[in-house]
Amino acid sequence: MVGNNKFIAVIGGSQPSAKETRLAEAVGRELAKQGAIVVCGGLGGVMEATCKGASSEGGVTVGILPGDSRESANPYVQIPIVTGMGYARNVAVVKSAQAVIAIGGNYGTLSEISYALANGIPVIGLKTWSLSKNGKQDNSITIVQSPAEAVSKALSLAVNQ
């Protein structure tokens, strides 16, 4: 079923704007078309829109949940992972992916971006955080302008680890 398919995480907030929702759904569709498996935090908002998009193209979706019940997963999660570990599950979302696409997002998303960069996992950003330290811009996030470009970059930068 899986074989050489790539695992790509899509991260973002649970209360996205309408535009972020459309971007997420388009990213999900494109990932599925390219044969990638979607990994996410399993809840609503960007996570749900991505899973919905992927499912509409017959893709596989994995949701790594913070709580104690699979029933908290959005309806498009096919493989719910129930961690019971709260925000600590963000580490697993990122580590289970070979590249990460960030769409919008709040501080939870920023923690996932941080974990990915700390682990050498490429981060592709669509309308998301940008970082600087001591007044100097950090360019570790690959900025893109469209869902197609996000998926293309994610697949080409994906690491094996």
Residue ranges binding a second copy (CB under 8 A): 1-2, 7, 37, 60, 62, 64, 68-71, 78-88, 91-92, 95-96, 104-108, 110-111, 113-115, 117-119, 127-135, 160-161
Q: How far is the CB of 122 from a second copy (least distance, A)?
A: 13
Q: Give the amino acid at 146.
A: S
**What does the block give as tokens for 84?**
């019971």
Q: For residue 47, what are the β-bridge partners?
A: none
Residue (15 or 69) nearer to a second copy, CB:
69
Q: Which is nearer to a second copy, 96 or 152 (CB)?
A: 96
Tell me, rounded to whole angstroms, the distance of Cα 143 from its chain centroid.
15
Residue number with CB closer to a second copy (26 or 94): 94
Tell me how far, at minimum, the Cβ of 128 lies from a second copy, in Å. Answer: 7
List all residues 6 or more positions away from 3 whose beta carbon is below 8 Å from its beta carbon. Answer: none
**Token pair in block for residue 112:** 């996932």
Question: How many whole angstroms from its chain centre is CA 1?
Answer: 21
84/139 with CB nearer a second copy? 84
From the CB of 10, what's the least distance to a second copy, in Å?
16
